Structure 1
Amino acid sequence: MRWFDARERAAWEGFLTVSAKLNRRIEQQLKADAGLSHQQYEVLARLSGAPDGQLRMTDLADAALTSKSGLTYQVAQLEKAGYVTRKSCPSDDRGVVATLTPAGWAKVKATAPGHVRLVRDLFRDGLTEEQFHGLAEGIAALLARLSTE
């Protein structure tokens, strides 16, 4: 077993702290500005980036980085609010497709500018170009490693 040295431990603990603080601030901003949870916004954002504003629920769960049961709950809440509809997949009777409604499109368009401003302020703008480049490369390497699992 190879333990962390002091620098590795500090980096890991720093990553956990930064991640938790970013998520907390984003959650607060989305609740205050749009009445949405971060997970709900992610669902709307992923649908808005999909062809015709729709995705199969299994693909949406993968894209939104949530469990299928967690996604089902969030989509049900968004459906109650009128932002999303669900219907059977035409090519697979077992599949369900989530679709962004006109109200959902409007919600994303109204919410995105404030969300992007906060993410830019908290995530991007606190780093120099060189620091951000290194971070982006590191994240890409970790994503590639985790994608093979």
Structure 2
Amino acid sequence: MHKVSDGQCRRVQICMGLLHVFQVLLLDEVTVDLDVVARMDLLSFLMEECEQRGATVVYSTHIFDGLESWATHLAYVEDGKLKQTYTFPDIFYTLDRPKTLLRIVEPLLRAERKHRENVAASGGGQVKSAMAETSPWSSRRHMAYYR
């Protein structure tokens, strides 16, 4: 495995992980090393699995391209707390924003950044949640898409 590219290594890891039948599959940045075609093929495969077996895939990522037609729900988690949830395709019709996932997510991330900067500027120092010492989600933002 040490002689293959990052993308090839990721493909092997994904295949090994998908050998087991799942009802719920948690994926964190699983497509980061894949090329566009491999990424879209994997998402198509996962969509088929969900539809055929009634499985659920929770997919956390910062790469929003192509997820508008894939995801059925969006969950915004900040410091281990669920902040907002949306359903697809309703999200594109109920919000007064351009109809791309990036344009929907961007204001959430910008508002969080501004809040953290304001707290730091007011002498609050670095913002930490009560869960910072115990939660694997601490000090991180996650967008989870699930099907």
TM over 0.5: no
Q: Is the helix fraction higher in 1 or 2? A: 1
Q: Is the strand fraction higher in 1 or 2? A: 2
Where on the TM-score scale, by shorter chain, does this alignment land: which range? under 0.3
Question: How does the TM-score come out when normalised to structure 1?
Answer: 0.26
